[in-house]
Amino acid sequence: MDFTLTEEQRLIQEAARDFAQNDLLPGVIERDEAQKFPTEEVRKMGELGFLGMMVDPKYGGSGLDTLSYVLVMEELSKVDASSSVIVSVNNSLVCWGLETFGTEAQKEKYLTRLTTGEIIGAFCLSEPEAGSDATSQKTTALDKGDHYILNGTKNWITNGSSAEIYLVIAQTDKDKKHKGINALIVEKGADGFEIGPKENKLGIRGSDTHSLIFNDVKVPKENRIGEDGFGFKFAMKTLAGGRIGIAAQALGIAAGAYELALKYSKERKAFGTEISNHQAIAFKLADMHTQIEAARNLVYKAAYDKDNNQDYDLSGAMAKLYASQVAMDTTVEAVQIHGGNGFVKEYHVERLMRDAKITQIYEGTSEIQKIVISRSILRD
Ligand code: CAA
Ligand code: FAD
């Protein structure tokens, strides 16, 4: 495996780095405090091609590989994880699923608008009583011939109020358990579709997280993704790739905190010398650097597997499990290295620490990644 970046990948990485510094950084503290969605920034990311990175150009996508997507996620997340989760959901959970399993009509109707940023999408699996235990879907999609009738509540939905289309997982035939679940495309504004209040969160506060309520929402059959009963597999296959995106987000958060800590340690003086000259601080930096490099290798390996048609369930889960732990450990140490300044908003590391925590929870908690990993190694 050779992770030397191609000229194209290097340019994309640079474009993402420039965008993060010039467009995301200036308002990131204010957006975090006010829980303000990055509307203008998302529009620009659409123009830059960051919202449909792996989609075929015939649907408005950038036609790039997973490693390019990971590089962009990493750069954006160094500065603003609220913006990068929007990129991750739109790319991995919405565009990928639609392009891979959607009908030509669905792709024509939705994909081009999603890849250009004209609209963004949401992925709706979690429910009040079905988070980690995702097969326990209570939302129902009853088959009424040419349409489904959708009833139930989804929880914690990223892009909850800003999305225009929602991929909703729901139970059609309870007796068939996970084989009776479907994935449906629901448009905002459908009769009976209500968006709940915005969650007031610890981190990624610029991203809008909502519950969604469906009351007898009529969804035409042509909006079903895949065959009848394919919905749970659809969700699992989609999440396998999504976890690579979140692993890259965690890697970026860790790398962002490390870069700030490294710079600060060479500027701040205590006991007559830069704090980086105190071994206790230098060793923290050594640990952070080593862990980040190890996480990067796992994340790039998972992207490599996906790009080379290898199984990536295992490598994606390992990358997410490890990178999210590194994000947590590294950001806590970055705050420590900043001393009192680490505790105030202007220095950014406290936000990165708050943002890091979610990477151990969404798209499958760390405990769920261990289930995926252990089942895989025991099966093999
Ligand atoms: N690819 C294809 N099929 C898969 C699969 C995969 N990666 N993983 C599981 N399946 C299939 C299984 O093969 C099985 O089908 P068959 O019976 O036909 O073989 C079916 O799915 C059920 O699998 P399990 O028996 O393993 O199911 P389980 O109840 O033990 O649960 C689980 C498995 C891995 C724990 C799963 O429930 C899970 O991933 N839970 C976590 C949910 C999650 O990640 N939610 C994220 C929501 S989205 C989000 O969070 C977005 C965001 O924040 C931005
Ligand atoms: P639970 O499943 O109740 O888990 C509670 C604890 O028990 C966890 O520590 C868990 O790891 C542990 N646990 C559960 N089962 C086991 C087990 N078998 N073995 C060991 N430990 C176990 N969902 C979406 O569908 N779409 C989204 O866009 C989305 N965005 C989100 C954004 C945010 C900010 C948040 C907070 C969540 C989001 N989620 C989304 C939901 C997220 O995926 C779930 O919160 C997550 O999967 C965990 O589910 P839960 O919250 O119900 O926790």
For residue 343, the model assigns a pLDDT of 98
Q: What's the mean pLDDT in 78-97?
A: 98
Q: Is the pLDDT of residue 171 over 80?
A: yes
Ligand 2 atom nearest the C-alpha of 361 is 46
In this predicted structure, what is the pLDDT of residue 2? Answer: 86
Determine which residue's CA is closest to atom 21 belonging to ligand 1.
Answer: 233
Question: Rounded to whole angstroms, how far apart are CA atoms 264 and 267?
Answer: 5
Strand partners of residue 198: 210
Model ipTM over 0.95? yes
- Quick one: average pLDDT of 15-37? 98
With a 6 A CB cut-off, is 362 part of the ligand 1 pocket? yes
pLDDT value, residue 88: 98
Give residue 60's Cα distance to chain centre. 21
**Among residues of the chain, what percentage have pLDDT more than 90?**
99
pLDDT digits 0-9 by tens, 246-299 = 999 999 999 999 999 999 999 999 999 999 999 999 999 999 999 999 999 999
Q: Is ligand 1 within 6 A of the CB of residue 371? A: yes
Distance CA 277, CA 275 (A): 5
Residues with CB under 6 A from ligand 2: 89, 122-126, 131-133, 156-158, 201, 204, 209, 358, 361-365, 367-368
- Ligand 1 atom nearest 85 alpha carbon: 54
Query: Which amino acid, one-letter code, is at 367?
Result: E
**How high is the pLDDT of residue 91?**
98
DSSP 39-83: HHHHHHHHHTT-SSTTS-GGGT-----HHHHHHHHHHHHHH-HHH
pLDDT confidence of residue 341: 98
Alpha helices in the chain (DSSP H): 7-19, 28-34, 39-47, 66-79, 81-88, 96-101, 104-106, 112-116, 231-267, 279-307, 313-337, 349-358, 366-379
Residue-level pLDDT at 272: 98
The answer to whether residue 79 scores a pLDDT higher than 80 is: yes
Evaluate if residue 380 carries a pLDDT over 80.
Answer: no
Q: pLDDT per residue over 151-163, tens digit each?
A: 999 999 999 999 9
What is the per-residue pLDDT for 212? Answer: 98
141-144, long-range: CB within 8 Å, 24+ apart, which pairs? 141/168, 141/170, 141/171, 141/172, 141/182, 141/184, 141/219, 142/172, 143/172, 143/173, 143/228
- Using DSSP's 3-state secondary structure scheme, residue 277 falls into helix
Active site residue 30: no
